[in-house]
A and B are shown apart, each in its own frame.
Chain A
C-alpha cells in the first residue's frame, strides 16, 4: 500500500478558485466477480472520501462497486484563507487512510 497522492496549490490569492486532486491506491474489488472455482471474491472497496478545510467539510464523495481501482478525484473550491486541508478515505475491512496539505492564501 502506497501513500495517497494529493495536489493542493501551495499558494493562492484570496477568492481564487483552486483545483484539488487526490488519488489513492485501492483494488476496488466489486464483490461481483468469481474465482475460477466459482467462489465469490468478497467486496473490498473504498466507500467514502472526505476533504475538510480547517475542520469544515468542503467536499465529500461516496464510492460504489462501479468506481474504478485507484480512484482519482479532482474538485474545485474557493481559497478563502490560509489553512490546512485534511483528506480521509474510508472503506470495507476497516480501510482508512488520511493525508493533509496546507495552503497559503495571500
Chain B
C-alpha cells in the first residue's frame, strides 16, 4: 500500500491469476477488484478457514482467497473416536461450500511457492496469485527421517494418524484386524507437537475398544517426555476404566523411541526393543512445508511471530497462525487455531484499513474423552507479550482431579457441543 505503482501492477496480476484458476474460483465482482486489497490465506483448517471467513465478515470489500488442495476437510478433534470405532469418519468431514458462499475464493490446489518480494503465491498448476497480505495456516507436517526408519512409506505400516483422514482409517483397520492379546504401542514425541494431550486420549479410547472386543490386549505408551497435559486426570481414568491395560514408559524410564523397524513392527528405545502388533508412531513435527518454502520457519522447524499481529518475524507481509506457530504458551489446538484465525483477520483488516490493530486475546479449550460419557478439559486465555503468547493470570482452568462422574458426563456433553460450535462457525 505504501508503493502505489506496484500495488496497481499487483491488482492486474490478480485478475489474470484468478481467471486462470477459474474452475475452482468464484470470480469476485469486478467493481470490487478495482479497489479492494487482496488477502491470500494458505491452509483450510480451523485457523485458515476461520480467518478467511472472518476477513470477509469484517470487510466485505476485501478479496480473500483460500488455498487448500483438499476439497473435503477432515477434522482432528474427535478423530480418536473414529480410531476407537465410536464414530464414523464422515462425521469429521466438512466442505468449503459455505466459505465460498461467504465470498471467499476457494482454490482447490496446493500452494507451491511464495515470492515474498513480488508478493505472489504460485500454485501447483503454475498460476500465481498476488497478495497484499498473506496468511499462512499450514498446520503441521511430519519430520520424516528424524526418527530413524520412519519415512512416508513407514507411515503406511506404522500410521501416525496425526493428520485426520486416510491415516485415521488405517489405524482403525489395524486395530480391527489385530487378534485378541496383541500389544498396541503409541510412540509419543517430545513437545512441541500438535495437540499435547491427544496421544493420551487416543490411548484411553483404544483401551475402551480393546476392553470391549479384545480384552487380553495391552497398550504400551513409549513417551519422550516425563509429564503430560492433564496427567492426573488421565491416569485416574485409566485406573478406573482400564485397570492394568495401559503401560506407560516415560522419558526417565527410557521411553523415548529412537528408531523404528516397519518390517517387524519394532520400536527401539534407548534401552529396549518392543515388537508390537499395532504401532502408532507419532513422529516429531514441524510447521507445514509451505511455511518453510516461504522462509517463515526458523531452525526449530516452527514459525516465530510477533504475537500481537501474528506477523512473521522472518518475512514481511506474511502472518502465521495455528499449529505452525512457535512462541509462548498458546497450545497447538483446533480451538487456539480457530481463535487465532479470527484474531488475525481483525489484525490484517486493521492493517489494510490503516488503523491500529487491537491486542488479540486467544482462547484455548481442550476437551478429552477418556471413555464415552467421561470427559475433562483444560482451558486458558492468552495474550501477546512480545513474540510470545502468555497465559492470562487466573484464566487457566483444569477439571478437578476428584469430581463426581456426573461432572465428567457433563464435560463429555460439552465437548460434543464445542465440536458442533467450532465446526459450524468455521465450515457450516
- Asked if A25 and B270 sit within 8 Å, CB to CB, the answer is no
Complex interface: chain A residues within 8 A of B252 (CB): 23, 25, 69-70
A interface footprint on B237-265 (CB within 8 Å = 1, 0 otherwise): 00000000000000111100000000000
- Of all chain B residues, the one with the shortest Cβ separation from A2 is B253
User: With a CB–CB cut-off of 8 A, which chain B residues contact A21?
Assistant: 270-271
For A78, what are the chain B residues with a Cβ–Cβ distance below 8 Å?
Answer: none
Q: Is A103 an interface residue (CB 8 A)?
A: no
Which residues in A have their C-beta under 8 angstroms from that of B271? 5-7, 21, 23
Judge if A59 is at the interface, Cβ distance under 8 Å. Answer: no
In Å, the complex CA distance between A5 and B250 comes to: 13
Does A64 reach chain B (CB closer than 8 Å)? Answer: no
Within 8 A of B (CB), among A2-53: 2, 5-7, 21, 23, 25
Q: Does B97 have its Cβ within 8 Å of any Cβ on chain A?
A: no
How far is it, in angstroms, between the C-alpha of A65 and the C-alpha of B254 when the chains are bound?
22
Instruction: Kindly state the separation between the CA atoms of A80 and B301 in the bound complex, as whole angstroms.
Output: 41
Q: Is B405 an interface residue (CB 8 A)?
A: no
Interface residue? A72 (CB, 8 A): yes
The answer for the CA separation of A74 and B253 in the assembled complex, in Å, is: 15
Q: How far is the CA of A5 from the CA of B251 in the complex (A)?
A: 11
Chain B residues with Cβ below 8 Å from A2 are 253
Interchain nearest-CB distance for A15 vs B (Å): 24
Task: Specify the main secondary structure of chain A where it touches its partner.
Answer: strand
Residues of chain B within 8 A (CB-CB) of A69 are 252
Interface centre among B251, B252, B271 (most CB of A within 10 A): B252
**B270 close to A70 (CB less than 8 A):** no
B326 to nearest A CB, angstroms? Answer: 21
Instruction: Classify chain B: how many residues form its interface, as a range.
Output: under 10
Considering residues A2, A5, A74, which has the most beta carbons from chain B within 10 angstroms of its beta carbon? A5
Q: In whole angstroms, what is the CA distance A69 to B251 when docked?
A: 11
Q: Within B261-314, which residues are at the interface with A (CB < 8 Å)?
A: 270-272
Shortest Cβ gap from A92 to chain B (Å):
19
B105 to chain A minimum Cβ distance, whole angstroms, is 50
Cα–Cα, bound, A25→B226 (Å): 11
A104 to B126, CA, bound (A): 60
Q: Which residue of A lies closest to B226 (CB)?
A: A70
Residue of B nearest to A69 (CB): B252
A72 to B271 CA separation, bound complex (whole angstroms) = 11
Q: Tell me which residues across on chain B come within 8 A of A25, comparing CB atoms.
A: 252-253
CA distance A5 to B272 in the complex (A): 10
CA distance A5 to B256 in the complex (A): 13
Task: Write out the residue numbers on chain B whose beta carbons fall within 8 Å of the beta carbon of A6.
Answer: 271
Can you name the residue of chain B whose Cβ is closest to the Cβ of A7? B271
Chain A residues, Cβ within 8 Å of B254: 5, 23
- Map CB proximity to B onto A56-78 as digits: 1 under 8 Å, 0 otherwise: 00000000000001101010000
In the complex, what residues of B have CB within 8 A of residue A23's CB?
252, 254, 270-271
Complex: A17 Cα to B272 Cα, angstroms: 20
Per the bound structure, the CA–CA distance linking A70 and B226 in Å amounts to 10
CB proximity of B224 to chain A, nearest CB, Å: 12
A71 to B91, CA, bound (A): 46
CA distance A73 to B226 in the complex (A): 17
- B134 to nearest A CB, angstroms? 40
The complex places the Cα of A74 from the Cα of B271 at a distance, in Å, of 11
Question: In the complex, are the beta carbons of A7 and B270 less than 8 A apart?
Answer: yes
Instruction: Look across to chain B and name the residue whose beta carbon is closest to the beta carbon of A21.
Output: B270
In the complex, residue of chain B having the shortest beta-carbon distance to the beta carbon of A24: B252
Q: Nearest CB to that of A23 among chain B residues?
A: B254
A22 to chain B, nearest CB (A): 9
B337 to chain A, nearest CB (A): 31
Nearest A residue to B258 via CB reads A21
Complex CA–CA separation, A72 to B226 (angstroms): 13
Residue of B nearest to A74 (CB): B270
A7–B226 alpha-carbon span in the complex (Å): 20
CB distance from B271 to the nearest CB of A (A): 4
Distance between Cα atoms of A38 and B271 in the complex (Å): 40
A residues in contact with B251, CB < 8 Å: 70
**Distance A69 CA – B270 CA, assembled complex (angstroms):** 17
Q: How far is the CB of B252 from chain A (nearest CB, A)?
A: 4
Bound together, the chains give a CA A14 to CA B254 distance in angstroms of 28
Shortest distance between the CB of A98 and any CB in chain B (Å)? 17
A-B contact pairs, 14 of them (CB 8 A): A5-B254, A6-B271, A7-B271, A7-B272, A21-B271, A23-B252, A23-B270, A23-B271, A25-B252, A25-B253, A69-B252, A70-B226, A70-B251, A72-B270
14 further A-B pairs in the complex, CB-CB below 8 A; given A23-B270, A74-B270:
A2-B253, A5-B254, A5-B270, A5-B271, A7-B270, A7-B271, A21-B271, A23-B254, A25-B252, A25-B253, A69-B252, A70-B226, A70-B251, A72-B270
Ranked nearest first, the 10 interchain pairs of A and B with the lowest CB-CB distance are: A70-B252, A5-B271, A5-B254, A7-B271, A21-B270, A25-B252, A7-B270, A23-B254, A2-B253, A21-B271
